[in-house]
């Protein structure tokens, strides 16, 4: 049986960073398993700029970001990649792997899950109508266009204002398609403000807030959709329907962390993130199993994915080398306005960064962080669900803390 100190599942932005972090923290035997034929994951189909400002202080395309990060480890003999390989099962810390070489068993002292996320398809949102050609997830359309040169439609409507939907509105327009509009169920956009400006407003593409697509129409090919308004409780408003002619509907209706592999391991999942529950080391509820990147929770920026992956890799190295945190674990408790928090628990003794999202739009407000021995308020001009919040608490902030740490947002 092949044995390694650390096995990383997924060679995208989180996996590459985890390998680098583990090596820098003392590991000399690291294996990265990637199901595609090359490293980089989703980055390889993201040819637009906007990556790398936080990591490399320059604006890069997705493939350029992947190449630049990979260049940091490609000649490192301690880090090995195997491609076109799928992990089909994990039992304890033994992985069953299928690759062009056949099936093999690989044993690891620690495992990092950096498997990314998948898009919600049409079946997940209950669209009415036939299963006609022309309905795609936005990421699938992006892959067809950017990697294979195939335009999936010429008269396009987009459901969902997540970043990939906004980016595809611009991309389809630049390739000669007519993007009729973008509908968003919520009364606010779920994309970054810069993408609203650069991908919709700059191209005069209308955004229909508090709207959704109720049905698709067509037999062999999509011919039109029914757009309908919703009220403040997200219930459809009868009589507000309008039919819009189009030959393509792109769905940007959410991403789901890919965690099929760990379901049989008994790893505890957070129902809000749909990723694993982790501590400040990114260790899951199962000893020696770590999770990071979009497999843990959906990020806004690839730079944040890489930062998190590197931390997880370093923590996995500590685990393999027998280094453990001191003191009791402290639980994070989310309250008013906070949708989720990562990590869900932590150990004191060092500076710690916490990430969370709010569950509604806040105007001028403050983040209230409190517990026995800590009461801190951070002013914010505004917070929206589409933008992940990051809060750094210093070692000295946490020194006197006992029990739980509570998080809330007050407008």
Please work out, in degrees rounded to the nearest 5, the angle formed at the alpha carbon of residue 294 by the alpha carbons of 287 and 21: 60
Share the mean pLDDT of the chain.
95
CA 304 to chain centroid, in Å, comes to: 10
DSSP 3-state of 32: strand
Q: What mean pLDDT do residues 212-241 have?
A: 96
CATH node for 2-118+256-320: 3.50.50.60
Q: What mean pLDDT do residues 260-282 have?
A: 93
Find out whether 14 and 20 touch, Cβ atoms under 8 Å: no
DSSP 3-state of 394: coil
pTM of the model: 0.94
Paired sense of beta strands 135-137 and 248-251, if any: parallel
Q: Do domains 2-118+256-320 and 121-253 have the same CATH topology?
A: yes
Residue 251 pLDDT level (bands cut at 50, 70, 90): very high
Residue 90 pLDDT level (bands cut at 50, 70, 90): very high
Residue 202 pLDDT level (bands cut at 50, 70, 90): very high
CA 218 to chain centroid, in Å, comes to: 33
pLDDT at 125: 87
Dump pLDDT digits (tens) for 315-371.
Answer: 999 999 999 998 889 999 999 999 999 999 999 999 999 999 999 999 999 999 999
- Tokens for 188, please give them: 């606010």
Paired sense of beta strands 242-245 and 222-229, if any: antiparallel
Dump pLDDT digits (tens) for 147-195.
Answer: 999 999 999 999 999 999 999 999 999 999 999 999 999 999 988 888 9
- Tokens for 99, please give them: 């690759």
Q: What mean pLDDT do residues 188-214 have?
A: 94
Long-range interactions of 45-54: CB distance < 8 A, separation 24+ = 45/139, 45/142, 45/143, 45/146, 45/147, 46/142, 46/146, 46/167, 47/146, 48/167, 48/170, 48/171, 50/194, 51/301, 51/302, 51/303, 52/302, 52/303, 53/303, 54/301, 54/303, 54/304, 54/307
Q: Does the pLDDT of residue 263 top 90, yes or no? A: no
Instruction: Tell the burial category of 242 from Cβ atoms under 10 Å away from its Cβ (0-12, 13-18, 19+).
Output: exposed
pLDDT at 354: 98
Q: Does the pLDDT of residue 98 top 90, yes or no? A: yes
Q: Domain boundaries in the chain?
A: 2-118+256-320, 121-253, 330-410
Q: Answer with the residue of higher pLDDT: 264 or 80.
A: 80
Residue 124 pLDDT level (bands cut at 50, 70, 90): confident
Dump pLDDT digits (tens) for 3-53.
Answer: 999 999 999 999 999 999 999 999 999 999 999 999 999 999 999 999 999
- Tokens for 155, please give them: 């008269």
Residue 267's Cβ-side half-sphere holds a number of Cα atoms within 13 Å equal to 33
Please name the fold of domain 121-253: FAD/NAD(P)-binding domain (3.50.50)
pLDDT at 4: 98
């Amino acid at each position: 049986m092949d044995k390694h100190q650390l096995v990383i599942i997924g060679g995208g932005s989180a996996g590459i960073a985890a390998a680098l972090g583990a090596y820098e923290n003392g590991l000399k035997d690291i294996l990265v398993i990637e199901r595609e034929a090359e490293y980089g994951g989703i980055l390889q189909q993201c040819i637009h700029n906007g990556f790398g400002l936080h990591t490399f202080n320059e604006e890069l395309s997705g493939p350029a970001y992947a190449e630049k990060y990979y260049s940091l480890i490609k000649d490192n003999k301690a880090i090995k990649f195997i491609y076109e390989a799928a992990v089909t099962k994990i039992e304890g810390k033994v992985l069953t792997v299928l690759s062009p070489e056949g099936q093999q068993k690989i044993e690891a002292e620690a495992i990092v899950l950096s498997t990314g996320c998948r898009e919600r398809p049409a079946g997940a949102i209950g669209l009415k109508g036939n299963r006609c050609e022309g309905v795609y997830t936005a990421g699938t359309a992006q892959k067809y266009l950017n990697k294979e040169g195939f335009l999936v439609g010429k008269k396009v409507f987009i459901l969902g204002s997540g970043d990939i939907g906004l980016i595809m509105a611009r991309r389809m327009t630049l390739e000669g398609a007519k993007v009729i509009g973008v509908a968003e169920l919520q009364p606010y956009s779920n994309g970054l403000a810069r993408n609203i400006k650069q991908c919709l407003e700059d191209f005069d593409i209308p955004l229909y807030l508090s709207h959704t697509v109720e049905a698709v129409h067509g037999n062999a090919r999509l011919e039109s959709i029914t757009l309908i308004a919703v009220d403040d409780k997200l219930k459809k408003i009868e009589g507000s329907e309008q039919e819009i002619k189009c030959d393509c509907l792109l769905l940007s209706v959410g991403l789901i962390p890919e965690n099929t592999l760990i379901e049989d391991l008994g790893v505890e999942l957070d129902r809000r993130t749909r990723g694993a529950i982790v501590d400040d080391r990114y260790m899951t509820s199962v000893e020696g199993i770590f999770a990071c990147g979009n497999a843990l929770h959906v990020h806004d920026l690839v730079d944040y994915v890489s930062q998190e992956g590197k931390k997880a890799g370093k923590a996995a190295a500590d685990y393999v080398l027998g280094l453990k945190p001191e003191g009791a674990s402290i639980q994070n408790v989310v309250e008013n306005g906070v949708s989720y928090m990562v990590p869900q628990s932590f150990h004191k003794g060092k500076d710690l960064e916490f990430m969370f999202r709010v569950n509604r739009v806040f105007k001028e407000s403050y983040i209230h962080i409190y517990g026995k021995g800590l009461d801190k308020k951070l002013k914010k001009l505004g917070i929206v669900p589409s933008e992940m919040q990051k809060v750094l608490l210093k070692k000295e902030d946490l020194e006197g803390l006992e029990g739980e740490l509570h998080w809330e947002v007050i407008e």
